[in-house]
Chain A
């Protein structure tokens, strides 16, 4: 049987460049050729690693986490239903893995505590997205390093992964209104942190 992998030998993999994720998964499940899984790793490995570094704040730990996350993805690939995008499924595994890790290590018990999300004390001003989206990368990195994990998680989900409020709510097992509030607060904290760090400028 001719597959995109054996078609043209080494150039076969080149031929997979524009093949959608779902098709690669089907090819892998049909053939069990690990090269197909490698294609998925090359597409998402860096992104998963970047999220792990942001959340776990340790490069070595993030590397181990990336390996574990991909092993998990590999073992559960047959269960991917295709209801959501493959990238959303991969990122949901990534976020849940990192959050569970931080909870297990008791570094942060209440990453998404209800009091934090639903506490509606004083009204929070709505910050325009542009303030965050047009920030210099090096500054954004510094800001993200200095805000709580829960806030960082929702900001990454919304602005890095383009997840909808519904998707974020499903992954974090919270209501959509709670997530909206959490994002609003997270943006506020990010702006405040930015001003605190770079106030001299």
Chain B
């Protein structure tokens, strides 16, 4: 190894990691993975639930259902949106 090891670096080299640290870290990492996957899966659904509970979901119905009658559709079929040439 060509890199010169000064006393500061040798001091660092002499410190060994305590055993069990890697296992502990692996547990933490897998816990964080699990939590983030749960959040990814359920958070959008949770927000959807909140929106529908606050009445936000009814907007769609307002525009489609009550006015969507067959009669109206037939009217619009008979009256073209553009004037004939």
Give the B-binding residues of A (Cβ under 8 A): 32, 34, 37-38, 41-42, 45-47, 49-51, 53, 59, 63, 66-67, 70-71, 74-75, 132-137, 140-141, 144, 155-156, 159-160
Contacts and interface: CB of A to CB of B under 8 A. Distances in A.
Chain A interface SS verdict (over half): helix
A37 B26 CA distance: 9
Interface of B: 6-12, 14-18, 21-22, 24-26, 28-30, 32-33
A66 B28 CA distance: 12
A66 B33 CA distance: 19
B66 to A, nearest CB: 48
Nearest to B3: A162
Most chain A beta carbons < 10 A, residue from B22, B25, B26, B32 = B25
A169 B14 CA distance: 28
A132 B7 contact: yes
19 contacts: A32-B33, A34-B29, A34-B30, A38-B22, A38-B26, A47-B12, A49-B17, A50-B11, A50-B12, A59-B18, A66-B17, A75-B32, A132-B7, A137-B7, A140-B7, A140-B8, A140-B11, A160-B9, A160-B11
